[in-house]
Amino acid sequence: MSIIVIGAGEVGYNLARKLSQERKEIVVIDKDEEKVERVSESLDVQTVHGSGSSLSVLKRAGIEKA
């Protein structure tokens, strides 16, 4: 099972960081490409660039496994 975090701002980033330290499978979604890059470069999580309210983006993030 994976956990999807929508938003890579301060709260989303810290949530993803904490969950990844617990060895959870995390996917972070954000519309801001710079935030997605920051997360991707500093955390051991998957990232998806796009809107968390878009069904196609959620499918790319693996919503079926979440």
The model's pTM is 0.94
**Average of pLDDT values for 13-21?**
97
Residue 1 has what pLDDT?
82
Residue 24 has what pLDDT?
87
Buried b (16+ CB within 10 A) or exposed e, 15-39: bbbebbeeeeebbbbbbeeebbebb
Query: Is the Cα torsion angle 54, 17, 25, 40 positive or negative in sign?
Result: positive
Structure tokens at 65: 């496994």
**Average of pLDDT values for 3-19?**
98
Q: Which domains does the chain have, with CATH numbers?
A: 2-65 (3.40.50.720)
Q: What is the Cα–Cα distance from 51 to 66, expressed in whole angstroms? A: 17
Structure tokens at 41: 């470069």
Question: Tell me: the pLDDT tens digits for 19-45?
Answer: 999 998 999 999 999 999 999 999 999
